């Protein structure tokens, strides 16, 4: 036995270290681009959920404040907060984005199992971390970083169990851990967990069909079938138990599926102007979010390249296997190919659900990161098989750098290019606290054109007052207007509410709070 | 040891043999609906089972019931003496179909008498059951749908029914008022959905009060009635005289379409109204646990103590739970009280008071009307003839004055029953409206609902309009006369008008009486506490007009205008809303003593009661009547020349401003036409800037004698020397010889100097002088400006740049390495 690690292991360590550093810098940039003062709706809701879990000491808070799709993220965060004493805001805003870099440590081994190549794993992981839609969901304070860890871990365990099917104790360990991570996925978000189970079921069916299509596919198809046969059943039972007994609120989301079909049929079969049958346009708000539509397309360049590239490579890969050209598929690549197809199918179904206006109308955004997780290694396989000339190599590397820049700019909603600002000022927090301290409970106030300060109110637990986005809402007399809001008004070309000449009840230089004068004796 | 055991065994057997058969079914005074039953016995699983075959039955024409007694019975005795509702299982077969409709398990737990009700929870119209140790037991659920407990250990003793009961409900039973909101959420699942405690503190055989706690599995956000308390202050609650076997077991409604001829006494199902649901009716009472025998379901648990069906009762329906430890703040209908001030004792109230109350921080209050707030309905029937005649609606922000303690831990914020009427009539309220019923009959169990729309979520109260009349005076209620004070802060007072001899509200601003579909009276005030203007409208057109002010009367109709001396006082007398027996009697006498003026709708009759007119102007018209410093003024349009009275002598046809002074009398002068002038506009508030709406204002003056209403005012802006464009507008009323401010918001969309003018358009368009306003530019939104706005420290920019550079470098570096010439050790799959 020679001393020291093998060159292969050296290469792997080097690759992981570099990609991990990359992810760490991305996380640090996300955190410190706004000095840690960023907020968005899901982060705020999760803060509220964690707070309720700590306060009520149960995963099912009687106050009704809970994440209806799963408890795992709140439970993990509650554990960390209880164990370390760190503030919830600090955890979500400063620590978690950095922690997200550890996804590299899970993603890289999974992709190596899928692709069979350390180099392809490195490229796939890099692609994953320059993809803005994926970056956004794992960097913000939502459940997705935990969800992605469970998803990747379960895939890794599944692949390892394939490999060690002949070593019973090891196989049993992998299988046990696999179901544990599947449960973790479901407990984090039962919708995604169930989607994952469906994806595995789709892969099983695809594999079953493939055994009849070509002799080259028969061996992998049989292996996949053997291992996957019981997975959808057992995982489905887990999902059922979770939704029905362990965490009933999550069953309500899945309960919407029949109404998706109902709404779609009404959408397709009626000409009624009834709002309930009006097509929901999930894309309408996208273009308003960016300073220019061209900027939006530029920032999305990597996404489009990934979509087109992965689709082309997936088709080519499949056709080659069918034709018996080149190497036969390995078990990893075969499963990757199947899961890519399954996630693409789910993406298509998400578009349908969004058109029906169900499940928040943003399912395609939510399912896209899962597709990205499958598309990245497909593209990486193609890229590592590519042998560019030196000049092209430099250009391609430069393109990767540009994609990294565009990805981080889009993922952070950088105010230079985005109209959907997510940062805030300390003085805005103070003003919100003032409102909480001095306004009567239940009264309305206006603060900003979108959810920014509404989310901030929840994140920092500033008040129990009711914010509204409608500056003309009945009963609304209080308006919080900051320099940031004035700048946003200028950026959006929208006037701030008409408060000049009204009572300025708070002013710290950056933020003013106005209260409209009483029009009747009853407005006290 | 064996010998001792044998002796003990012998003693036990002997004791069992010597003990008499002890059926325990103490009979209350009343009828148990078993008169049509024949009893027989069978021996089953070692038990003597009593079978009652009933024609007519307890629920239909032919029913059966089976008694499985746990205590010894005597099959040879009269079956009636063997009935056992103390320790036996009863299986009911309504319709004698061979299927079970209900199982009631009477037994004892810790000294308390208990009755467990099992019904069909599967929804197939039949209660499936099996036998356990010979006793029937539901196989559909192990949880009773209803469990009734008498902690005293008995149901009936000495003919007295025990009304100290604790009832828990687990399942979709209509067990409290407002159950519709959440009934579909509850299941028979072992979780208690309602708890009902009935109290008879004196043990008199009448329930005095009950409290219902609704605890369905719904979020706190749901505005459901969580605690319901009903109290009988006179301790005269009616109790059922007919039931099914056991004093609380009844039948669910509705009444059968046609009842067959039944022998007397009739079984419960043959008595109309027996299935009363949740709310007890006047002067009737039936067993509260109502079974839907056809569907084998416990349908409802009605009130033991009437909420609104007795004249000395009151209730509280609270959205917040009260009556449990730490929960004492009630809201919503708190209290809702009924009184028999006439002492008629006929089971009907003649005063009903309901307070819809929200406390400070009440989550169920409208966000536009934060607590504390009270919306009170105060209805009375002065002649106690079961017709609501008058009602007050009062709005105010007053906390509950006391904690009402009923005992057994049930205490909460409210107004004590005895003090409630005086609390209402002796306290000042922010706004009051009065409704008088001018149609033959109006009756509801909750008093008079209709008011003029004051208080709560109405446009004036939420500041959406400055017009108090907005949203009030609904003309759809024919036969109701309504008037209101939009801002009073005084105790409610009434008076009988000297002009129309009707009861009115002191301080009324506006009023309305929708006589029928086309005819209506409108009331108004020129200021002061009494109504002073009457209008009779026919299909919306004014056909008569009467003004009473400063001791003068002006009457106008199509024939012309007449002026006469009016009443020296606007009221015949003031009177307070009745709050006790004497004041109710005084109110009735006072109102009865007033002679009605015709049918109360003809204004000419009102005018004529005061004698001959001192001035008559044929074909004339009068309008724009308003109070002045020492009298009143109006515009008079004469159709023909007149020479009398003296102040109108030699006036030719035309329009005149007539003024009346208490010191100098009438005077007339030619009316100046309305004439507007506009001052230069100004801006208010912060320095105007781009995209920050600027508040523009202008003083509008009417130099004429005729008031103008709905005058549009436009604001135009222009660059210096350029034509203007209208950017804001508003509408104002400008009284005669007065100035008002007109305001509008201009959302300036471009920076720089602007010339602003105000314009009153029309045939005599008026324009103001120009005012120059400088609009500051909007803040910059480029990256550097945003970085500055973010308040980032100087090194932040460098750090951001450095980290981005590093990211790009790493990505490029990985690319360069990946696409290097492949090494032989690159790992294969």
Angle at B164 between CA B160 and CA B166, to 5 degrees: 135
To the nearest whole angstrom, how far is the Cα of B116 from the nearest Cα of chain A? 28
To the nearest whole angstrom, how far is the Cα of A411 from the nearest Cα of chain B? 13
pLDDT at B222: 92
ipTM of this complex = 0.84
SS3 at position B739 = strand
* Local structure of residue B281 (DSSP, 8 states): P
CB contact under 8 A, A25 and B806: yes
Distance, in Å, from the CA atom of B210 to the CA atom of A192, rounded to the nearest integer, reads 50
What's the pLDDT tens digit per position in B6-43?
454 444 444 444 444 556 677 778 899 999 999 999 99
Q: What is the DSSP string of A82-114?
A: HHH---HHHIIIIIHHHHGGGHHHHHHHHHHHH
Query: Within 10 A of A297 (CB to CB), how many other CB atoms are there?
Result: 13
Residue B717: pLDDT band with limits 50, 70, 90: very high
CA A65 to each of CA A68, A76, A193, B365: distance values in angstroms, whole numbers, following the listed order: 9, 17, 22, 20
Contacts of A416 in chain B (CB under 8 A): 782-783, 786
Residue A349: pLDDT band with limits 50, 70, 90: confident
What's the pLDDT tens digit per position in B389-421?
999 999 998 999 999 999 989 999 999 999 999
A11 in contact with B, Cβ within 8 Å = yes
The pLDDT of A465-493, averaged and rounded, is: 89
pLDDT at A286: 64
pLDDT at A7: 53
Q: Which of A400, A408, A464, A476 to mutate to test the interface with B (most CBs of B within 10 A)?
A: A400
pLDDT at A10: 64
What's the pLDDT tens digit per position in A214-235?
777 888 888 888 888 889 999 9
Contacts of A521 in chain B (CB under 8 A): 430, 487
Residue B716: pLDDT band with limits 50, 70, 90: very high
SS3 at position B315 = strand
The token pair that represents B63 in the structure block: 């029913």
* Local structure of residue B425 (DSSP, 8 states): H
Q: Is pLDDT at B793 greater than 80 in this prediction?
A: no
The pLDDT of B366-388, averaged and rounded, is: 90
The pLDDT of B733-751, averaged and rounded, is: 92
pLDDT at A3: 42
Distance, in Å, from the CA atom of A135 to the CA atom of A129, rounded to the nearest integer, reads 6
pLDDT at B623: 94
Phi, psi of A254 (to 5 degrees): -65, -25
Q: What is the DSSP string of B339-394?
A: E-TT---SS--SEEEEEEEE-TT-TTS-TTSPSSEEEEEEEE-TT-SS---EEEEE
pLDDT at B19: 42
The pLDDT of A128-156, averaged and rounded, is: 92
The answer to whether B484 touches B434, Cβ cutoff 8 Å, is: yes
In chain A, residues 410-439 whose CB comes closer than 8 Å to chain B: 415-416, 423, 425-426
**DSSP-assigned beta bridge partners for residue B561:** B556, B617
CA B729 to each of CA B697, B744, B761: distance values in angstroms, whole numbers, following the listed order: 10, 6, 11
| Nearest to B565, CA basis, from B577, B554, B576 | B554
pLDDT at A63: 78
Sign of CA dihedral B408, B411, B415, B419: positive
Question: Looking at B241-245, B691-695, B821-825, which range is the least confident one?
Answer: B821-825
pLDDT at A259: 54
Q: Is pLDDT at B383 greater than 90 in this prediction?
A: yes
What percentage of chain B carries pLDDT values higher than 70? 95
Q: Is pLDDT at A258 greater than 90 in this prediction?
A: no
In chain A, residues 359-398 whose CB comes closer than 8 Å to chain B: 383-384, 386-388, 393-394, 396-398
Closest CA in chain A for residue B744: A498
pLDDT at A238: 93
The pLDDT of B264-280, averaged and rounded, is: 94
Residue A362: pLDDT band with limits 50, 70, 90: low
Rounded to the nearest integer, the mean pLDDT of chain B is 91
The torsion defined by the Cα of B146, B150, B153 and B154, in degrees rounded to 10, comes to: -90
* pTM exceeding 0.90: no
pLDDT at A260: 52
Q: Is pLDDT at A462 greater than 90 in this prediction?
A: no
Residue B803: pLDDT band with limits 50, 70, 90: confident
Question: Looking at A70-74, A376-380, A429-433, B364-368, which range is the least confident one?
Answer: B364-368
SS3 at position A271 = coil
Residue A355: pLDDT band with limits 50, 70, 90: low
Closest CA in chain A for residue B812: A397
The pLDDT of B613-624, averaged and rounded, is: 94
pLDDT at A280: 46
pLDDT at A272: 41
What's the pLDDT tens digit per position in B623-653?
999 999 899 999 999 998 888 789 998 899 9
Closest CA in chain B for residue A330: B829
pLDDT at B193: 96
What is the Cα B561 distance to its own chain's centre? 46
Question: Looking at A206-210, B147-151, B375-379, which range is the least confident one?
Answer: A206-210
Closest CA in chain B for residue A503: B685
Question: Looking at A49-53, A473-477, B126-130, B241-245, which range is the least confident one?
Answer: A473-477
In chain B, residues 768-797 whose CB comes closer than 8 Å to chain A: 778-783, 785-786, 789-792, 796
Contacts of A8 in chain B (CB under 8 A): 825, 827
Q: Is pLDDT at A210 greater than 90 in this prediction?
A: no
What's the pLDDT tens digit per position in B432-476?
999 999 987 899 999 999 888 787 777 888 788 888 876 666 666
The pLDDT of B254-266, averaged and rounded, is: 82
Query: Within 10 A of B512 (CB to CB), how many other CB atoms are there?
Result: 23
Q: Is pLDDT at B382 greater than 70 in this prediction?
A: yes
Instruction: Give per-residue burial for B661-700: e unless 16+ CB within 10 Å, then b.
Output: eeeeebebeebeebebebbebbbebbebbbbbbbbbbbbb
The pLDDT of B607-622, averaged and rounded, is: 94
pLDDT at B829: 36
């Amino acid at each position: 036995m020679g001393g020291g690690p093998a060159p292969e292991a050296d290469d792997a360590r080097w690759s992981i270290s570099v990609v991990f550093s990359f992810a760490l810098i991305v996380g640090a940039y996300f955190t410190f681009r706004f000095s840690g003062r960023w907020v968005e709706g899901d982060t705020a809701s999760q803060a509220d959920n964690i707070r309720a879990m700590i306060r009520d000491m149960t995963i099912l808070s009687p106050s009704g404040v809970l994440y209806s799709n799963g408890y795992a993220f709140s439970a993990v965060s509650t554990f960390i907060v209880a164990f370390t004493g760190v503030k919830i805001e600090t955890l979500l805003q400063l620590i978690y984005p950095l922690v997200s870099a550890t996804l590299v440590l899970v993603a890289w081994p999974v992709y190596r199992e899928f692709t069979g190549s350390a180099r392809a794993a490195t490229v796939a992981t890099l692609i994953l971390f320059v993809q803005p839609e994926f970056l956004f969901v794992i960097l913000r304070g939502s459940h997705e970083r935990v969800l992605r860890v469970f998803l990747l871990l379960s895939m890794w365990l599944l692949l390892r169990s394939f490999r060690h099917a002949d070593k019973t104790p090891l196989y049993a360990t992998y299988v046990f851990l696999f179901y544990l991570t599947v449960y973790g996925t479901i407990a984090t978000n039962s919708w995604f967990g169930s989607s994952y189970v469906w994806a595995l079921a789709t892969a099983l069916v695809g594999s079953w069909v493939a055994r009849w299509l070509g002799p080259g596919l028969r061996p992998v198809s049989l292996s996949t079938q053997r291992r996957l046969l019981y997975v959808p059943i057992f995982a489905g039972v887990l999902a059922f138990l979770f939704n029905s007994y362990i965490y009933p609120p999550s069953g309500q989301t899945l309960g919407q599926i029949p109404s998706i079909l109902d709404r779609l049929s009404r959408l397709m079969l009626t000409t009624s102007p009834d709002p309930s049958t009006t097509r929901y346009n999930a894309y309408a708000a996208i273009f308003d979010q960016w300073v220019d539509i061209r900027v939006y397309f530029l920032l999305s360049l990597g996404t489009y390249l990934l979509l087109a590239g992965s689709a082309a490579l997936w088709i080519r890969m499949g056709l080659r296997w069918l034709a018996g050209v080149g190497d036969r598929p390995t078990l990893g690549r075969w499963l990757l190919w199947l899961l890519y197809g399954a996630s693409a199918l789910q993406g298509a179904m998400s578009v349908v659900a969004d058109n029906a206006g169900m499940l928040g109308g943003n399912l395609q955004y939510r399912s896209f990161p899962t597709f990205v997780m499958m598309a990245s290694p497909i593209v990486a396989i193609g890229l590592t098989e590519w042998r560019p000339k030196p000049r092209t190599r430099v250009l391609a590397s430069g393109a990767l750098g540009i994609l990294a820049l565009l990805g981080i700019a889009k993922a952070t909603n950088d105010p230079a290019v985005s109209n959907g600002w997510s940062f805030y000022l300390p003085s805005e927090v103070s003003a919100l606290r003032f409102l909480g301290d001095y306004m009567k409970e239940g009264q309305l106030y206006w603060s900003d054109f979108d959810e920014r300060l509404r989310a901030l109110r929840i994140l920092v637990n500033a008040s129990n007052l009711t914010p509204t986005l409608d500056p003309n809402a009945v009963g609304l007399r209080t308006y919080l207007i900051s320099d940031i809001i004035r700048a946003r008004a200028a950026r959006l070309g929208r006037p701030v509410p008409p408060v000049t000449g009204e009572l300025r009840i708070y002013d710290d230089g950056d933020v003013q709070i106005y209260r409209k004068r009483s029009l009747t004796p009853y407005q006290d | 040891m064996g010998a001792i055991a044998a002796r003990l065994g012998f003693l036990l057997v002997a004791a069992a043999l010597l003990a008499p058969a002890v059926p325990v079914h103490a009979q209350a005074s009343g009828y148990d609906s078993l008169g049509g039953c024949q009893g027989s016995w069978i021996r089953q699983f070692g038990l003597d089972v009593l079978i009652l075959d009933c024609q007519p039955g307890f629920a239909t024409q032919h029913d059966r019931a089976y008694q499985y007694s746990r205590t010894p019975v005597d099959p040879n005795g009269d079956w009636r003496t063997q009935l056992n509702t103390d320790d036996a299982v009863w299986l009911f077969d309504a319709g004698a179909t061979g299927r079970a409709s209900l199982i009631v398990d009477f037994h004892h737990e810790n000294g308390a008498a208990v009755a467990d009700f099992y019904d069909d929870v599967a929804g197939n119209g039949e209660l499936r059951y099996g036998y356990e140790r010979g006793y029937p037991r539901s196989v559909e659920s192990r949880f009773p749908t209803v469990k009734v407990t008498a902690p005293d250990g008995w149901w009936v003793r000495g003919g007295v029914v025990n009304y100290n009961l604790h009832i828990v409900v687990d399942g979709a039973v209509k067990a409290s008022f407002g159950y519709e909101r959440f009934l579909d959420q509850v299941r028979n699942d072992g979780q208690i959905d309602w708890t009902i405690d009935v109290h008879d503190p004196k043990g008199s055989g009448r329930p005095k009060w009950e409290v219902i706690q609704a605890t369905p599995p719904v979020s706190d956000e749901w505005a459901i009635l969580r605690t319901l308390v009903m109290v009988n202050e006179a301790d005269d609650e009616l109790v059922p005289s007919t039931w099914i076997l056991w004093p609380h077991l009844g039948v669910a409604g509705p009444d059968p379409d046609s009842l067959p001829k039944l022998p007397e006494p009739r079984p419960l199902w043959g008595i109309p109204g027996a299935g009363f649901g949740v709310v007890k009716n006047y002067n009737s009472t039936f067993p509260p646990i109502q079974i839907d025998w056809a569907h084998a379901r416990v349908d409802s648990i009605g009130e033991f103590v009437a909420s609104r069906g007795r004249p000395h009762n009151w209730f509280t329906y609270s959205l917040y739970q009260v009556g449990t430890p730490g929960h004492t703040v009630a809201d919503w209908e708190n209290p809702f009280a009924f009184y028999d001030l006439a002492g008629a004792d006929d089971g009907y109230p003649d005063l009903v008071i309901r307070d819809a109350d929200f406390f400070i921080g009440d989550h169920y209050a409208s966000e536009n009307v934060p607590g504390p707030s009270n919306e009170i309905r105060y209805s009375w029937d002065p002649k106690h003839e079961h017709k609501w005649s008058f009602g007050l609606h009062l709005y105010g922000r007053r906390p509950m004055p006391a904690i009402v303690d009923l005992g057994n831990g049930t205490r909460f914020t409210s107004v004590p029953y005895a003090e409630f009427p005086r609390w209402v009539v002796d306290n000042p309220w922010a706004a009051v409206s009065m409704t008088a019923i001018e149609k033959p009959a109006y009756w509801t169990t909750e008093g008079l609902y209709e008011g003029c729309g004051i208080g709560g979520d109405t446009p004036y109260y939420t500041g959406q309009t400055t017009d108090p009349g907005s949203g009030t005076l609904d003309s759809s209620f024919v036969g109701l006369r309504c008037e209101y004070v939009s801002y009073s802060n005084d105790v409610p007072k009434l008076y009988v008008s000297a002009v129309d001899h009707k009861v009115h509200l002191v301080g009324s601003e506006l009023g309305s009486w929708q006589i029928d579909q086309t005819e209506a009276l409108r009331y108004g005030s020129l200021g002061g506490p009494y109504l002073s203007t009457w209008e009779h409208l026919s299909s919306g057109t004014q056909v008569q007009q009467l003004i009473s002010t400063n001791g003068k009367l002006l009457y106008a109709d199509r024939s012309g205008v007449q002026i006469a001396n009016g009443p020296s006082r606007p009221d015949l007398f003031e009177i307070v809303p009745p709050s006790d027996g004497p004041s109710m009697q005084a109110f009735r006498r006072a109102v009865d003593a007033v002679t009605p003026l015709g049918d109360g709708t003809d204004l000419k009759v009102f005018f004529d009661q005061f004698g001959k007119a001192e001035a008559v102007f044929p074909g004339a018209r009068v309008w724009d009547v308003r109070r002045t410093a020492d009298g009143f003024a109006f515009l008079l349009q004469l159709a023909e020349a007149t020479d009398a009275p003296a102040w109108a002598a030699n006036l030719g046809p035309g329009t005149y401003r007539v003024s009346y002074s208490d010191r100098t009398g009438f005077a007339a002068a030619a009316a100046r036409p309305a004439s507007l002038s506009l001052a230069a506009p100004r801006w208010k508030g912060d320095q105007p800037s781009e995209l920050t709406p600027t508040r523009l204002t202008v003083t509008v003056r009417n130099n004429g004698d005729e008031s103008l209403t709905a005058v549009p005012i436009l604001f135009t802006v222009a660059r210096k020397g350029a034509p203007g464009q209208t950017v804001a507008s508003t509408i104002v009323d400008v009284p005669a010889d007065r100035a008002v401010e007109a305001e509008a918001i201009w959302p300036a969309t471009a920076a720089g100097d602007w010339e602003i003018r105000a314009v009153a358009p029309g045939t005599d368009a008026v324009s103001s002088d120009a005012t120059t306003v400088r609009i500051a530019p909007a803040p910059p939104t480029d990256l550097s400006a945003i970085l500055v706005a973010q308040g980032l420290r100087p090194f932040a920019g460098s750090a951001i740049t450095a980290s981005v550079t590093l990211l790009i470098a790493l990505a490029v570096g990985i690319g360069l390495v990946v696409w290097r010439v492949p090494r032989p050790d690159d790992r294969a799959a």
